[in-house]
Amino acid sequence: SKTYKIAIIPGDGTGPEVIKEGIKIIETAAKKNDFKLDFTDYDLGGQRYLKTGEILPESVIEEFKKFDAMYLGAIGHPDVKPGILEKGILLKLRFELDQYINLRPVKLYPNVETPLKDKKPEDIDMVIVRENTEGLYTGAGGFLKKDTPQEVAIQESINTRFGIERCIRYAFKLTQNRAKNNKLTLCGKTNVLTYASDLWQRTFNAVAKEYPQLKSDYVNVDATCMWFVKNPEWFDVVVTDNLFGDIITDLAAMIQGGMGVAAGGNINPEGVSMFEPMGGSAPKYTGLNIINPIASINAGAMMLEKIGESKAAKDIDNAVIKALESGKIKSMSAGKMGLSTTEVGDLIASFI
Amino acid sequence: SKTYKIAIIPGDGTGPEVIKEGIKIIETAAKKNDFKLDFTDYDLGGQRYLKTGEILPESVIEEFKKFDAMYLGAIGHPDVKPGILEKGILLKLRFELDQYINLRPVKLYPNVETPLKDKKPEDIDMVIVRENTEGLYTGAGGFLKKDTPQEVAIQESINTRFGIERCIRYAFKLTQNRAKNNKLTLCGKTNVLTYASDLWQRTFNAVAKEYPQLKSDYVNVDATCMWFVKNPEWFDVVVTDNLFGDIITDLAAMIQGGMGVAAGGNINPEGVSMFEPMGGSAPKYTGLNIINPIASINAGAMMLEKIGESKAAKDIDNAVIKALESGKIKSMSAGKMGLSTTEVGDLIASFI
Ligand SMILES: CC(C)[C@H](C(=O)O)[C@@H](O)C(=O)O
Ligand SMILES: CC(C)[C@H](C(=O)O)[C@@H](O)C(=O)O
């Protein structure tokens, strides 16, 4: 039986707690499907940075390249200045490992409450494909006359045809393999970002020609946010740039029931990918065994899918649905589940 | 009795229809409050551009400076390439007339349906202050190696301490005059836009010191979108940059019941300001007398407030509320109101 090498980054706050349940579940699915997982722990995050001053050594990035996948809890610490851990760990990993796709399946599970009126599981079922290595996330920019009344701050969005095209191709392929409407929507702001969004639009139109059987359309980012709330059923697959992707994936997480269920992958289709729950380190819930591990478990399923164990991924997805249908989990919010973090993990494991 | 000079830009599509009702209402309020409005029509928009090739002559911009306010229907035409009318008219007016504040009151009126569960009028009541002349809207950027596989598109966000500070000051003053929580929230993305959002954050912190009696906090733009949907009651006044403002004001329009009610102002506190309904030109509803004029009427009320006729503005706001409370308007959506555009205008006029 096959063995996969998985790098684990439990990280900060509630990260270790949710990763523990995630490991429980993917181990159970691995046993059932007759493959093995070989875990290596990496201590990275705000906690470690504050203790040692070290963020992410280059040598560790090289080590990650040898794994089949990476599994992340959460990175973030209230005592660390915004930007340091993001640029030093999260964005650094995305860029250095060329994880150029940020993949966010958005699905309303049974018995999960959405803040939207009259929307059922079949209405909220889409995938967002976010470009993950360009745009406003490159860090390009600078200050002029800093700390004077004449200060100017410039932030640059850098976009390449190469980077956009590989992302759009990925999105078209994914759309082709989805059951739903087989529609790919480009989300941008062509009427204002007449350089960045224009390149996106031209690339999208060019690649669309290779998929004449698929529908494709364009929606401005402001309108996308409106329709996510009013008519989420209009969407199947959405492709967008890094910053718009950041915004619309979080909005989408909320309409699918919040951070308790939302999972994502930072994907290098030809290399090593990293999977994570979308929630942060949630300092105030840390160590209380009350955080919802479902997002982390969903991220685990995405990881198994990526390494080629689709059957095991499907088993986890089905188990999550059965656990939710059982009605035993009262809410998706930390502290209100009616069960502990560990109990939710055990419940889901029991359905595999 | 005083006379105010108002420039009217009915514009494209349903613009003229909603402006007609808006004029009906502000005229009624003017009569009641004993002042006069002197209207001058300007034919600008996509229709005119397609016919004459002319977008916005410099001489017209100079004329606008002599008015007390400007009142806009809608600009936008499906046959005009995205960016032309936006850059040529809408953004040009904002920049040339230095309308550096985009003001968006967000209020759930009685009997207006929000797509959010369990939210009442008192839960959705905030004001968004969007910087309107900088950031990613400057048009700075360019292409390299256009139309080759090596193409690069750069879009620049340019932010000045001057531009940010005047916007933040405006927002603090506005917060001080609001009844609600007296809280100002800065919306940005400090953990990624470490130049642009950093300057915003530093400026915000500096000005906040002058308002020790007001609460102030910071929320990332992605989280802002989440909380707008989940906990809109947490917000009082939100201040943000041009692009984030574009996104969150549209999301906010949806939660307050859609484009039928959402109004905004492009404000130069020391000069001439322009008021408009947030909806577009709505080509498919044009000429049918079925578009909702309430947003345009609300924009008219904002205009009267700005020129100093607060009592008349309040009269209009009360009349809108009474019209909605009457239950005679069945929906806020075009074609579903149960009344025509004209009838909604008449109904509101009857309550002044
Ligand atoms: C933590 C932050 C850098 C990150 C982002 O903005 O991409 C997060 O919000 C996400 O969406 O993964
Ligand atoms: C039409 C467009 C240029 C404009 C913007 O992006 O600012 C609009 O969406 C708005 O919010 O007023």
Residues in chain B closer than 8 A to A195 (CB atoms)? 141-143, 153-155
Predicted local confidence at residue A293, as pLDDT:
98
pLDDT digits (tens, 9 = 90+) for B215-242: 999 999 999 999 999 999 999 999 999 9
Domain boundaries, chain A: 1-98+295-352, 114-256
Report, as an integer, the average pLDDT of B38-55.
Answer: 97
pLDDT of residue B268: 98
Closest ligand 1 atom, CA of B222? 9
Q: What is the pTM of this model?
A: 0.97
* Inter-helix orientation angle A242-255/A221-230, to 10°: 10
Q: Is the pLDDT of residue B269 over 90?
A: yes
Across the A/B interface, how many CB contacts are shorter than 8 Å?
Answer: 195
Testing ligand 1's pocket by substitution, the residue of A55, A90, A104, A254 carrying the most ligand atoms inside 8 A of its CB is A90
- What's the pLDDT band for A78 if we cut at 50, 70, 90? very high
Q: Tokens 């009795």 — which residue?
A: B1
Ligand 2 atom 9, closest CA: B246
pLDDT value of position A143: 98
Instruction: Work out the percent of chain B whose per-residue pLDDT is above 90.
Output: 98
Cα A242 to middle of ligand 2, angstroms: 20
B113 CB within 6 A, ligand 1 = no
Predicted confidence band at B1 (pLDDT cuts at 50, 70, 90)?
Answer: confident
Q: Atom 7, ligand 1: which residue's CA is nearest?
A: A246
Ligand with smallest separation from the Cα of A87: 1
pLDDT digits (tens, 9 = 90+) for A289-318: 999 999 999 999 999 999 999 999 999 999
Output the pLDDT for position A1. Answer: 85
Atom of ligand 1 nearest to the CA of B192: 3
Separation CA A318–CA A323 (nearest Å):
9
Check CB contact under 8 Å for B151 and A157: no
Atom of ligand 1 nearest to the CA of A102: 12
Q: Is the pLDDT of residue B180 over 90?
A: no
| Distance from the alpha carbon of residue A328 to the mean position of ligand 1, in angstroms | 32
Q: Which CATH superfamily is domain A1-98+295-352 in?
A: Isopropylmalate Dehydrogenase (3.40.718.10)
Q: Is it the case that residue A179 has pLDDT exceeding 90?
A: no
What spacing in Å lies between the alpha carbon of B45 and ligand 2's midpoint?
A: 14
For A230, which of B115, B165, B221 is closest by C-beta distance?
A: B115
Among B12, B90, B138, B267, which residue has the most ligand 2 atoms within 8 Å of its CB, making it the best to mutate? Answer: B90
Give me ligand 2 centre to Cα B130, in Å. 11
Of B142, B161, B193, the CB nearest to A150: B161
Q: Nearest chain B residue to A142 by CA: give it.
A: B195
Average pLDDT in the A141-153 region? 98
Q: Which ligand is nearest to the CA of B46?
A: 2
* Cα–Cα distance measured from residue B268 to residue A88, given in angstroms and rounded to the nearest whole number: 41
Q: Which of A247, A281, A332 to mutate to test the interface with B (most CBs of B within 10 A)?
A: A247
Phi, psi of A62 (to 5 degrees): -60, -40
> What fold is seen in the domain A114-256?
Isopropylmalate Dehydrogenase (3.40.718)
Binned at pLDDT 50, 70 and 90, residue A180 comes out as: confident
Q: Is the per-residue pLDDT at B136 higher than 90? A: yes
pLDDT digit string, tens, across residues A85-123: 999 999 999 999 999 999 999 999 999 999 999 999 999
What is the per-residue pLDDT for B181?
A: 79
Cβ contacts (< 8 Å) between B193 and chain A: which residues?
Answer: 136, 141, 155
Task: Check CB contact under 8 Å for A251 and B258.
Answer: no
CB within 6 Å of ligand 2 — which residues?
A: A 191-192, 222; B 86, 90-91, 246
Q: In this complex, do A86 and B162 lie within 8 Å of one another by their Cβ atoms?
A: no
Q: How far is the CA of B96 from the centre of ligand 2 (A)?
A: 16
Which residue is closest in CA terms to ligand 2's atom 10? B246
Ligand nearest to the CA of A103: 1
Record: contact A254-B230, CB cut-off 8 A = yes
Question: Quick check: CB of B192 below 6 Å from ligand 1?
Answer: yes
Q: Is the pLDDT of residue A67 over 90?
A: yes
Contact B139 A194 (CB under 8 A): yes
Say if residue B179's pLDDT is above 90.
no
Q: Do A1-98+295-352 and A114-256 come out as alike in CATH topology?
A: yes
Span from the CA of A246 to the centroid of ligand 1 (angstroms): 6
For chain A, percent helix, then strand, then coil, each to nearest 5? Answer: 40, 20, 35
The pLDDT assigned to B350 comes to: 98
**What's the mean per-residue pLDDT of chain B?**
97
Q: What is the pLDDT of residues B9-22, one digit of tens each?
A: 999 999 999 999 99
Which of chain A's residues have a Cβ under 8 Å away from the Cβ of B157? 136, 141, 154-157
User: Residue A7 is inside which H or E element, if any?
Assistant: strand A3-11
User: How high is the pLDDT of residue A217?
Assistant: 97
Which pLDDT tens digit goes with each residue over B81-131? 988 999 999 999 999 999 999 999 999 999 999 999 999 999 999 999 999
> Which among A345, A189, A53 has a CA at the least distance from the CA of B136?
A189
Q: Which residues from chain A sit within 8 angstroms of residue B196, using beta carbons? A: 141, 153-155
pLDDT (tens digit per residue) in B282-307: 999 999 999 999 999 999 999 999 99
Does the distance separating the beta carbons of A137 and B192 come in below 8 Å?
yes
Q: Which atom of ligand 1 is nearest to the CA of A90?
A: 3
Spatial separation of the C-alpha atoms in residues B91 and B85, rounded to whole Å: 9
* CA of residue B245 to ligand 2 center, whole Å: 10
Chain B residue closest in CA terms to A192: B83
Interval A24-46 mean pLDDT: 98
